[in-house]
Amino acid sequence: VQLQAFGGGLVQAGGSLRLSCAVSGTFFSINDMGWYRQGPGKERELVASITYGGFTNYKDSVKGRFTISRDNAKSTVYLQMNSLKPEDTAVYYCSARVSVRIGVLREYWGQGTLVTVSS
């Protein structure tokens, strides 16, 4: 199972970016999916998560600005980021809890994509 993230880049404060992350390989199903980030000198933190059924959870500082969604048919999770702030600058990682076979869940991570927000 592999996760491939796309969409990072350089944007001015107030701008928008959309990240996507596709899951590939052999698996039974994908449960929770999420986006984490790690800023300079900081620990990795959860930004947003989404269940298979579409229930979402957000870090307080991104509520109202970021939207997580998923396309189960494409095994892909998205993160729409609006009104970006310099403090959103970080490497963003996608994660997925994958049922590799019935009763066996494993967590996988993407390679990270850099988001830089200039002031």
Could you list the pLDDT tens digit for every one of the 119 residues in the chain?
A: 999 999 999 999 999 999 999 999 999 999 999 999 999 999 999 999 999 999 999 999 999 999 999 999 999 999 999 999 999 999 999 999 999 988 899 999 999 999 999 99
Q: How many angstroms separate the first and last alpha carbons of the chain?
A: 38
* Cα–Cα distance for residue pair 78/5, rounded to 1 Å: 9
Residues whose CB is less than 8 angstroms from the CB of residue 22 and which lie 6 or more positions away in sequence, other chains included: 3, 4, 6, 74, 75, 76
